[in-house]
Every structure is written in structure tokens, then in C-alpha cells.
């Protein structure tokens, strides 16, 4: 015989089990299937919602609704990642003023924290590479000597030995790295903006990127002996400059002396 | 003898011996006048400034700090502004200034303190005096005979030796450049990727440290890496013609390249997945062509702006280069590391040479 109290107890346990199973199933569903809701503002973080509002103001004309891109105007940003967005917006390259061979650096329209908000929005939309630190400075000290080696192998072909930049094809160019922040350089290496090749973490580990950044910062922190770096191309330009300018000056000085006597 | 007498002597001498007539000779300022004193003061001031600058040069050379040592720890170069950055400029400024000021002083002296003079000298007519010509000819002949080559035949013959030897030496460079080095007959056709350099085994691709082998996943899509042959000395100048640029193309760019290989069959099957490797040595003048534009898929050479279109078998599309960059056919080994299938399909790398086969 089963007593009445034991039956009610069993029923209560069964009811609890049912409730637990329902909660678990619902929770798993909520975790596993966010896709359908991803584009709705409700599922975005607060920063991403701010970013979405900014995106709809500044970027939507070319990159389209939900950053899916507009044919002939701007590419889709799904999978671009926050690093790319932050780099493009923080350096003023985006929002672009016009189409051209290359979108150059210009005074930024949006503030860095706004850039991060848009980045967060794009990140939550489609994922992609992210900058693994939050500050403007790299979190770890870089090895300048090793960074120099890596810079000469990987970067100097386009950005020149002194990080002064150089020309590419058809009006494109590699910009000077002077004045770039740690964060911008890291983002550029990670995402390969415009025609720059991508240097993923398998090729240059985060620490190696820090090394390169330390080397570039070291270069830019230096002054030019004599006051004018001449593009920091080294002794060849310096000799050419002193030869050409010096010769012209001496010629005119000689002419002046001859004319006076 | 008074000054006047000396001037008279000079004038008469110039007239009689050199046929030069002094028609005007007068100081610019009256001797002892105020203007003359002023000029003298200016010139001596310039001389003193010049000397001072010279002393400053020496003082700076000795005492100006030319490195940051010992202000910073050890002999480490310290970027930024410091006194040592002024070392070279101050030496240049003081020595240049000293020379310039001494020049100005001499100039002012000559222009302002020396008397003005006008002299006239008649030009000679025609050739030199026949007697003088005869004399000069005889002197030259005499000197030639005194060397005694006619009487000393051994000297004459032995003189031929330096003539011949030096002539040969002068010819060695221009002629030697046209001859293929018989001791290294393969040097223009074989690079570090040839299995012959690796004991018959296929050569792996390594990074700039010479040991780290490369996997396809090391390079992001749209990325590139410089790969060296994984053999002893593969990253040294001994194999300076071997480096390749290993590029990870986007899917559609890789498809485009695969499709264009029909126009250039030697490259067919040379890609490993979407990865492709091209010689980094420009076919124009041998510079490292490694300015890769990942959107336009152009590879630029910085020396003379040659451009190669990667998606069309590295065809030269701009600049002085006329030949394609040779493709290094690559594959993955059993462990997934990349290695070269052969040595650029037998296509020589780098600039053209006479025996270079059409490719």
C-alpha cells in the first residue's frame, strides 16, 4: 500500500522534474538559436545598439542595411570584425568622402569611442578579427630589436625602412606610419586594410605584432639630426639633396660674386 | 729707394719685358681716410670671426657629447632630442662658417682695399717665332733619344710586357662578363629549391629564421609571406636568388589564376590549394618584387615600378619588366608542411641573360 502523503510527494517531485526539464530545454534553445533574432536590436549589447544607430547614420548609404553591402558602392561588412571597423573609422578613412584609388587618412568624423561602438555592432552582426586589448597602448612591452627584424622582412618593402611609406600602383600608396597609434597598427596588421596584405596571428603572433609596433614607435619617437629627415630615406637622398641644392646655391653664389666684381 | 721709385720700376719692367702697359693705378680710398679705416676694421673683424669659429669647432669636437653615453645606461642609442644630436650639425656649421667668413674677408680685402688698376697688353700675331719652334722641336727629339730605346733593345721588348698585361687586365672585365662561368655551369638555372641542393629530397619552405616550416594555415586569406628554401644556408646570400613570395589568394582570385593557367601551361598544377608562390626576384633587374596589393592582386617591384598581375600567372602589366615571374610549384607533404615540387619548373629566375630560354 502506498500512503497518500507519499503519492503527493512523488507528484511534487515529478512536477519539479518537469519544470527543470522545461527550463533546460528553453535555455538550450535560447543559447543555440540566437540567429533568427540576431539582427533585432533587442539581442544586441548596449554598445552595439549605439553602434547600430551610428551605422544607420553614417555608413548605411554604402554598406547597406544590416551591413550587407550595396552593389557598386560598398562591400558587405559581415565578418569584417571590429578591428577593421575601428581602424577605418578612427583614422578617418571611413566614412569615405569619395571613391578613389585609395581612401586616405583624414581628420576623423567620429570619435574613437563611437568607432568602437560601430565596431561592436559589426562584431556582433557577423564576427571577425578583434583587437585583443582595450587600451591605446599594447599591453606587453615589445622587443624592439626583434621587431626591427620582422619589420624589415614583412613591412619595409612597402612602408620603407624608416616607416615613411611609399608609392604603389595606379595612385595607391603605403602610408607613413608616423603618428599611428599602437591600436591602429595592430588593427592594420590583423585585418589588412585596402591593399595591405593580412598578417594573421599564425604568421605574426600577437607578441610579434607588439614587437613590430614597439620598433615603429621607437622610430617615430626619434628626431632627425640636423632638423630635416628628407623622408628618412637615408644617406642616398641626403647626399643627392646636398649635392643638388648645394650645387645650385654655390653656382648662384659664384655668379653673384662674379657679377659684383 | 722710395715707394714711388719702386712703382716706376714695376711699370717700366712690365712695359719693356712683358709688353704690358699700366694706364691707370689708384687706391680706392685715400690712404688714412675714414672709409679706408672702416674697411680695414670690417676685414679684420671677419678674420677674427673666422678664427673664432675655428676654435669653436675644435672645442665642440673635443667637449660636445657625441653619444648619449654616459647619460644613459651603456652605449645604447636613445631616440628623441638630446645634445648629442647636435654634434654633427655644430661641426658642420662652425667649419663651414669659418671657411665662408674667411672667404668673405679675402673677397672684401681684394675688392675694397687693393688699388684699382687698368693694364693693356697687346696680343701676339700669328704663330710663334720660327727659331723658338726649332728649339722646342730639338729639345723634344733630344729627350726621346736620350731614353735610349734604339740602343737598348731589351728595354724596348720588355716594355711590351706591361703593355700586354695591362691591356689584358683591362679587357678581362668586359670580356669576362660575356662568358658563362665554366666552374658553375648551372648557376643561372638552379636555385635553392632544386632537390640537388637537399640530397635529392624535395625542399621545404621555411620562414626567415631558416628552420620554421610553413603550413598553409599560417597565412591568412589575402596575406603573403616570404619563403626561403629549407636547406643549410637557404636564407643566406648564397641562395639570394631563391626567395619566393607565398600568397594566400581569395577563392575567386585563386579560381581566376587556375583558369588562366591554360594560357601558360607550364604553371598548371603549381598551386597548393589557394596558395601560390612566385619568385621574388624581379625579371627586369633582379630587385626583390614584394609589394603585394591584396585587392588588385598586383605585385610591384620598388626599383623600377614593374607590376605583375598575380591572377594572370604574374604577367608583367606595367614597367620595364618583360618576362613573367617564375612560379614555384608547391605541394603539401604528409604532415601538412609546404614544399617545392621542383625548381621553378626549370624556368630560370631573375633578369634575362643571353642563354635564357624563351618562357
Q: Are residues B230 and B321 in the same domain?
A: yes
Note whether B225 contacts A203, CB cutoff 8 Å.
yes
Domain with CATH 1.10.760.10 in chain A: 42-126, 144-221
- Would residue B186 count as lying in a domain? no
Q: Are residues B166 and B286 in the same domain?
A: no
Give yes or no for residue A35 having a pLDDT over 60. Answer: no
Distance CA B50, CA A260 (A): 22
Query: Is residue B39 a contact partner of residue B108, using CB atoms and an 8 Å limit?
Result: yes
Query: Is residue B290 a contact partner of residue A157, using CB atoms and an 8 Å limit?
Result: yes
Query: Is residue B69 a contact partner of residue B75, using CB atoms and an 8 Å limit?
Result: yes
Q: Are residues B37 and B154 in the same domain?
A: no
Give residue B309's pLDDT band: very low, low, confident or very high (50, 70, 90): very high
Mean pLDDT, residues B3-7 taken together: 80
Q: Are residues B28 and B96 in the same domain?
A: yes
pLDDT of the residue at B180: 80
Read off the pLDDT of residues A39-80 as tens digits, 9 standing for 90 and up. 555 588 888 888 898 998 888 888 988 888 888 888 888 888
**Helix (H) / strand (E) containing A85:** helix A81-90
Best of A166, A169, A192, A218 to mutate (most B CBs within 10 Å, chain B): A169
Read off the pLDDT of residues B76-119 as tens digits, 9 standing for 90 and up. 667 777 787 888 889 999 999 999 999 999 989 988 899 888 99
Q: Give Rg (Cα) of chain B.
A: 38
Q: Which residues of B touch A166 (CB under 8 A)?
A: 291, 302
Give yes or no for residue B277 having a pLDDT over 90. Answer: yes
Q: Are residues B115 and B136 in the same domain?
A: no
- Would residue B183 count as lying in a domain? no
Q: Are residues B8 and B95 in the same domain?
A: yes
- Would residue B357 count as lying in a domain? no
Burial of A26 (0-12, 13-18, 19+ CB in 10 A): exposed
- Would residue B356 count as lying in a domain? no
Note whether A221 contacts B221, CB cutoff 8 Å.
no
Which of B80, B225, B294 minimises the CB distance to A221? B80
Q: Which residues of B touch A192 (CB under 8 A)?
A: 220, 222-223, 294
Q: Are strands B275-279 and B298-300 parallel, antiparallel or unpaired?
A: unpaired
Note whether B221 contacts A227, CB cutoff 8 Å.
no
Read off the pLDDT of residues B143-181 as tens digits, 9 standing for 90 and up. 988 888 888 888 888 989 999 999 999 999 899 888 888
- Looking at the complex, report in whole angstroms how far the Cα of residue B248 sits from the nearest Cα belonging to chain A: 10
Distance CA B129, CA B136 (A): 11
pLDDT of the residue at B308: 94
Q: Are residues B168 and B61 in the same domain?
A: no
Note whether B80 contacts A168, CB cutoff 8 Å.
no
Give yes or no for residue A254 having a pLDDT over 50. Answer: yes
Residue A200, chain B, CB below 8 Å: the answer is: yes
Give yes or no for residue A2 having a pLDDT over 70. Answer: no
- Would residue B352 count as lying in a domain? no
pLDDT of the residue at B215: 92
Read off the pLDDT of residues A133-159 as tens digits, 9 standing for 90 and up. 888 888 888 899 999 999 998 999 899
Q: Which residues of B touch A261 (CB under 8 A)?
A: 111
Give yes or no for residue B51 having a pLDDT over 90. Answer: yes
- What value does the mean pLDDT of chain B take? 89
Burial of A39 (0-12, 13-18, 19+ CB in 10 A): middle
pLDDT of the residue at B76: 66
By C-alpha distance, the chain B residue nearest A151 is B208
pTM beyond 0.80: no
What CATH number is associated with residue B270?
A: 2.102.10.10
**What is the length of chain B?**
359
Q: At CB < 8 Å, which residues of chain B contact A? A: 79-81, 85-86, 88-89, 107, 111, 208, 215, 217-226, 247, 288, 290-296, 298, 300, 302, 305, 307, 318
Name the CATH superfamily, with its identifier, for domain A42-126: Cytochrome c-like domain (1.10.760.10)
Give yes or no for residue B72 having a pLDDT over 90. Answer: no
Which of B89, B107, B223 minimises the CB distance to A203? B223
Distance CA A260, CA B20 (A): 26
In A, residues 162-191, which contact B (CB 8 Å cutoff)?
166-170, 172, 174
Q: Which domain holds residue B297?
A: 195-346
By C-alpha distance, the chain B residue nearest A204 is B218
- Among B233, B192, B214, CA closest to B328: B192
Size of interface A-B (CB pairs under 8 A): 84
Note whether B218 contacts A202, CB cutoff 8 Å.
yes
Mean pLDDT, residues B61-77 taken together: 70
Note whether A202 contacts B300, CB cutoff 8 Å.
no
Give yes or no for residue B246 having a pLDDT over 90. Answer: yes
Give percent of chain A with pLDDT exceeding 90: 20
Give residue B192's pLDDT band: very low, low, confident or very high (50, 70, 90): very high
Note whether B296 contacts A169, CB cutoff 8 Å.
yes
Mean pLDDT, residues B25-43 taken together: 91
Distance CA B183, CA B355 (A): 17
Query: Is residue A186 a contact partner of residue A213, using CB atoms and an 8 Å limit?
Result: yes
Note whether A261 contacts B111, CB cutoff 8 Å.
yes
- Looking at the complex, report in whole angstroms how far the Cα of residue A15 sits from the nearest Cα belonging to chain B: 52
Q: Are residues B80 and B105 in the same domain?
A: yes
- Would residue B59 count as lying in a domain? yes
Name the CATH superfamily, with its identifier, for domain A144-221: Cytochrome c-like domain (1.10.760.10)
Note whether B298 contacts A169, CB cutoff 8 Å.
yes
φ/ψ of A118, rounded to 5, equals -60, -40
φ/ψ of A174, rounded to 5, equals -90, 120
Measured N-to-C along each axis, helices A112-126 and A81-90 cross at an angle, to the nearest 10 degrees, of 150
Give percent of chain B with pLDDT exceeding 90: 54
- Looking at the complex, report in whole angstroms how far the Cα of residue B244 sits from the nearest Cα belonging to chain A: 12
What secondary structure, in 3-state letters, does A114-148 show?
A: HHHHHHHHHHHHHCCCCCCCCCCCCCCCCCHHHHH
First to last CA, chain A: 138
Q: Are residues B149 and B258 in the same domain?
A: no
Residue A260, chain B, CB below 8 Å: the answer is: yes
Q: Are residues B241 and B317 in the same domain?
A: yes
Read off the pLDDT of residues A76-129 as tens digits, 9 standing for 90 and up. 888 888 898 989 998 888 888 877 778 888 888 888 889 989 999 999 888 888
pLDDT of the residue at A160: 87
By C-alpha distance, the chain A residue nearest B224 is A197
Q: Are residues B138 and B116 in the same domain?
A: no
Give yes or no for residue A37 having a pLDDT over 50. Answer: no
Q: Which residues of B touch A188 (CB under 8 A)?
A: none
Number of H helices, E strands in chain B: 6, 12
pLDDT of the residue at A36: 45
- Would residue B184 count as lying in a domain? no
Q: Which residues of A touch B247 (CB under 8 A)?
A: 197
Read off the pLDDT of residues B283-303 as tens digits, 9 standing for 90 and up. 999 999 989 999 899 999 988
- Among B335, B239, B238, CA closest to B280: B239
- Among B239, B217, B215, B216, CA closest to B228: B239
Q: Which residues of B touch A225 (CB under 8 A)?
A: 85-86, 88-89
Report how many domains make up chain B.
3
Query: Is residue B217 a contact partner of residue B328, using CB atoms and an 8 Å limit?
Result: no
The cell numbers describing B146, all together, are 736620350
Read off the pLDDT of residues A180-225 as tens digits, 9 standing for 90 and up. 899 999 999 999 888 899 999 989 999 999 999 999 998 888 877 7
Burial of A185 (0-12, 13-18, 19+ CB in 10 A): buried
Best of A203, A209, A257, A259 to mutate (most B CBs within 10 Å, chain B): A203
By C-alpha distance, the chain A residue nearest B293 is A195
Distance CA A129, CA A193 (A): 12
Mean pLDDT, residues A225-246 taken together: 82
Amino acid at each position: 500500500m502506498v500512503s497518500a502523503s507519499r503519492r503527493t510527494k512523488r507528484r511534487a517531485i515529478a512536477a519539479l522534474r518537469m519544470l527543470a526539464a522545461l527550463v533546460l530545454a528553453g535555455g538550450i534553445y535560447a543559447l543555440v538559436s540566437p540567429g533568427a533574432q540576431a539582427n533585432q536590436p533587442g539581442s544586441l549589447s548596449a554598445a552595439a545598439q549605439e553602434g547600430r544607430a551610428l551605422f544607420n547614420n553614417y555608413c548605411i548609404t554604402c554598406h547597406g542595411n544590416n551591413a550587407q553591402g550595396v552593389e557598386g558602392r560598398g562591400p558587405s561588412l559581415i565578418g569584417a570584425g571590429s578591428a577593421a571597423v575601428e581602424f577605418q573609422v578612427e583614422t578617418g578613412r571611413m566614412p569615405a568622402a569619395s571613391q578613389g584609388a585609395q581612401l586616405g587618412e583624414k581628420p576623423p568624423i567620429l570619435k574613437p569611442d563611437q568607432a568602437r561602438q560601430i565596431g561592436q555592432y559589426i562584431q556582433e552582426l557577423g564576427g571577425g578579427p578583434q583587437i585583443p586589448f582595450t587600451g591605446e597602448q599594447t599591453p606587453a612591452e615589445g622587443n624592439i630589436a626583434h621587431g626591427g627584424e620582422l619589420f624589415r622582412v614583412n613591412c619595409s618593402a612597402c612602408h620603407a625602412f624608416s616607416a615613411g611609406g611609399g608609392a604603389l600602383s595606379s595612385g595607391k600608396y603605403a602610408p607613413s606610419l608616423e603618428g599611428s597609434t599602437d591600436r591602429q597598427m595592430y588593427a592594420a596588421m590583423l585585418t589588412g586594410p585596402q591593399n595591405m596584405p593580412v598578417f594573421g596571428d599564425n604568421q605574426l603572433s600577437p607578441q610579434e605584432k607588439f614587437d613590430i609596433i614597439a620598433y615603429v614607435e621607437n622610430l617615430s619617437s626619434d628626431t632627425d639630426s640636423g632638423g630635416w629627415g628628407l623622408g628618412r630615406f637615408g644617406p642616398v637622398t641626403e647626399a643627392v639633396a646636398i649635392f643638388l641644392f648645394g650645387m645650385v646655391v654655390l653656382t648662384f653664389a659664384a655668379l653673384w660674386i662674379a657679377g659684383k666684381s | 729707394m722710395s715707394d714711388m721709385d719702386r712703382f716706376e720700376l714695376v711699370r717700366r719692367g712690365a712695359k719693356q719685358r712683358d709688353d704690358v702697359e699700366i694706364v691707370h693705378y689708384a687706391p680706392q680710398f685715400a690712404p688714412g681716410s675714414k672709409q679706408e679705416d672702416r674697411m680695414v676694421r670690417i676685414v679684420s673683424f671677419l678674420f677674427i670671426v673666422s678664427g673664432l669659429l675655428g676654435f669653436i669647432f675644435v672645442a665642440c669636437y673635443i667637449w660636445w657629447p657625441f653619444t648619449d653615453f654616459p647619460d644613459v645606461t651603456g652605449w645604447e642609442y636613445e631616440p628623441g632630442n638630446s645634445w648629442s644630436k647636435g654634434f654633427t650639425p655644430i661641426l658642420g656649421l662652425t667649419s663651414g662658417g669659418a671657411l665662408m667668413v674667411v672667404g668673405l674677408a679675402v673677397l672684401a680685402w681684394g675688392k675694397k682695399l687693393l688699388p684699382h688698376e687698368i693694364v693693356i697688353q697687346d696680343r701676339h700675331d700669328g704663330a710663334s717665332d720660327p727659331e723658338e719652334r726649332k728649339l722646342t722641336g730639338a729639345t723634344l727629339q733630344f729627350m726621346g733619344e736620350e731614353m735610349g730605346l734604339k740602343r737598348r733593345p731589351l728595354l724596348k721588348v720588355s716594355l711590351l710586357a706591361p703593355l700586354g698585361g695591362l691591356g689584358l687586365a683591362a679587357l678581362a672585365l668586359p670580356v669576362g662578363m660575356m662568358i658563362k662561368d665554366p666552374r658553375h655551369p648551372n648557376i643561372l638555372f638552379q636555385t635553392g629549391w632544386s632537390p640537388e641542393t637537399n640530397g635529392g629530397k624535395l625542399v621545404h619552405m621555411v620562414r626567415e629564421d631558416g628552420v620554421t616550416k610553413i603550413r598553409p594555415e599560417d597565412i591568412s586569406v589575402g596575406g603573403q609571406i616570404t619563403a626561403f628554401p629549407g636547406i643549410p644556408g637557404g636564407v643566406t646570400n648564397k641562395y639570394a636568388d631563391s626567395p619566393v613570395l607565398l600568397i594566400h589568394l581569395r577563392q575567386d582570385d585563386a579560381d581566376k589564376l587556375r583558369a588562366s593557367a591554360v594560357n601558360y601551361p607550364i604553371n598548371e598544377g603549381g598551386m597548393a590549394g589557394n596558395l601560390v608562390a612566385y619568385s621574388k626576384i624581379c625579371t627586369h633587374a633582379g630587385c626583390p618584387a614584394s609589394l603585394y596589393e591584396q585587392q588588385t592582386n598586383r605585385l610591384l617591384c620598388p626599383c623600377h615600378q614593374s607590376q605583375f598581375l598575380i591572377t594572370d600567372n604574374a604577367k608583367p602589366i606595367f614597367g620595364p619588366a618583360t618576362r613573367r615571374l617564375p612560379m614555384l610549384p608547391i605541394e603539401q607533404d604528409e604532415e601538412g608542411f609546404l614544399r617545392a615540387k621542383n625548381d621553378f619548373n626549370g624556368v630560370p629566375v631573375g633578369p634575362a641573360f643571353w642563354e635564357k630560354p624563351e618562357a
